[in-house]
Chain A
């Protein structure tokens, strides 16, 4: 087995009687862009802080290039972090901020000035070199913070919600800057965020955490199309979660007895679920289509009433209710809306393909 750049091995972190991280196992490869995502208190930041050396694991080991770094101080690791608050030094100029890491490595002044200026140039902020940090805009400060961590040419960069203080246009712009930078440098980025759009737009792999535990690790596409438990299905995108008792199987299609009749789902080839227990599955809202009549192209058809609609720009979210009172949401494009006509009156059929259903663990 080849050696991972970073490995968390059975790592837990307790604060008094609170468990911030619970038995984390994660390998991160050289050159990977990985995002740790979850809502606040899920343990993502604590995990990052253990890697940066600000917290020591209560149990387990953090390995960097196969060596346990549990007891190394932060300054012995070279795992620079871009802070949520940026934590730029207000009493130093921009270029002095960027030089800081080199100054700590006792690099001679002309040399470190040269290297700092090169990084400012790479990030297109060379013109502000002599300014004070508080004279810069949010996006410019962001770049200073990046230059300051990259100047020591680390093989790994940690980012803790670095874009959370920027307005939305700037966030999208900086996402581009970060992705490009990561590709260019080929170093590992570990990016902590609560924002799905940031994680999914940039990362090769996303780790979804909740209450200190990893819920699922996968590519953005994987997580989106195949959430493997209730939490991920509820957290990522817009999913309908339905369920029923296993009845029969035919050509890899399972039939589940649900409240509104039979659900047909394609059994997951990866790990077969327990057939005796009630089975839940997720169907993404954009895979649920709505029409006036039965459409035999789809193998799941349910009669619904419209409860509400929500306009979300290019699409509309329809809130539907089946005869048994089950809630179903459907994401419909504006073009499809026009075909449907006036929605206020009458009944509809919600339909979807068994292929798009995905069994989830409780």
Chain B
């Protein structure tokens, strides 16, 4: 709670005249005392007291040690920050030029490096970590799914500038299209995949149509509402969707009709390679990798086409778009439905990977995480999404495995429960640190002579400025 920025002095001392030359130490001490005092107030009802459920009703227990420890940590932390971090920042704020010429092509090297790593990733993990390869490849699959979702949402939020808080709805539509078509019609993954994309895109149109007139935050809340509506319907339409029990027994993807497995007539049988469960993980990984690449390829292509330029122009200035003869309704709908289509693909992949889906997987938190990936990565930036997805999703998983902390805090300490707490804090801290996201330059879609990246200072953020 102590990461207040260097402006704290001006904020809190409005009424108290500051001494002429307050030494840095005194100032740091004063602010640390304030921060510690605030912690004492905030923590009193949550750290010092705890309501326990006992037979016969609720009782209060006290944990003074924890409370005092928190106050102490905040005091010391704030003091350290003030003395060693804040003093060094600040003074050097210079406005970056709006275009940055070609220096060392960091982005290019990073992109190619990550791409090559992604291609060899399963083999890398099977060779380097043979004990934990399944776990790591599974994590890579998860991250890749979020990268794909982030790229899909990037079309809507990053390019077209339409704030969508209900993106997970299309992910759910994709997942249930496959789950239900497998259950009722016996569809396999490859048949259901285009269907899922198509259905999600249609839902994008249907939901997009009425909300197109809305601006900014109204759009945000209505998309959030639609997301919740779809989830509630999936939850309660028990006869069709299975309600809270979801859909299970969703088939695994096949290779041209042959399954992976030990049985006769399986793909392994056909090519004469003995089956190993890891093959299934690797196969899934390459499917999602392919889908993500497809998303990226299509997005990059669309950006250079009139439709993509119209999306970005729409984000910059809708009225100017209309004065140039651009049909903004169709342009918005196309962004909405193409974004939704990729979520649909990702959804049907999710269904086949899990083998089981339920409405629980499609809560607002998912939408929030995907949006956070897009914004933290830097709106409109494809590589930014990759970095943010690795950091956020990978980070969550790392936090899941902090068993060594048990050695420090004793066996009762359960690190996994702090996972989302730290995740939320990281979201806040990264955003405060880099409000424009990690990659905050825009690459022009057409160049005459020299390609210059455009600084985000001049790039608009879309709806409801």
Binding between chains A and B: no
Residues of chain B touching chain A, judged by Cβ–Cβ distance below 8 Å, are none
Residues of chain A touching chain B, judged by Cβ–Cβ distance below 8 Å, are none
